[in-house]
Amino acid sequence: MKAKKIGLADTTFAKVDMATIAIEIIRKKSNAKIIRYTVPGFKDLPVASKKLIEEDNCDIVMALGMAGKAPIDKECAHEASLGLQTAQLMTNKHILEVFVYMDEAKTDKEVYQIASNRTLKHALNALALLKGKTELSKYAGMGKRQGKEDEGPYKVR
């Protein structure tokens, strides 16, 4: 199989270099080619992701961003997120949204760990999605989480 191309769109706004974390795991687990595109903030990620797909022929993109603690930051993340939805529908390619909120945890260290774990797990998701539509079906409904421990399925029987 021809090597796949994975686009990594990241930001200077983030306080963690998420792309480098993604690059490390992708290189370790696959022979995928990586194209990086760094933009100022997460509102610049949707068009960057679309350009990675349409100008660089990426098969999938990870949109890596961090949102600040103010309400306006959440609104901005919401707008970026809607842009990512539209970009995916215009290209028929997945753009995995890997967003971290700076108030998801109390300490800088914990937020860093969330960012790192979420990036890592979504990099693996990207590799799985490149393999086919049912590659993740064995985990369907299993309460998988990125950035924290898996919750697992409801135990109701």
Query: Taking CB under 8 A as the criterion, which residues in 45-84 touch its own copies?
Result: 46-48, 50-52, 54-55, 72, 74-76, 78-84
User: In this structure, what is the dihedral angle of CA atoms 44, 49, 129, 105, given to the nearest 10 degrees?
Assistant: -20
Does 131 contact its own copies by CB under 8 A?
A: no
Helical axes 45-54 vs 71-91, angle rounded to 10°: 20
Nearest distance in Å: CB 31, its own copies: 21
Selection from 95, 128, 134, 142 nearest residue 25 by Cα: 128
Nearest distance in Å: CB 76, its own copies: 7
- N-term to C-term CA, the chain: 42
Query: Taking CB under 8 A as the criterion, which residues in 1-20 touch its own copies?
Result: 10-20
Cα 148 to Cα 50: distance, rounded to the nearest angstrom: 28
Is 30 or 88 the residue whose CB approaches its own copies more closely?
Answer: 88
Does 106 contact its own copies by CB under 8 A?
A: no
Nearest distance in Å: CB 28, its own copies: 20
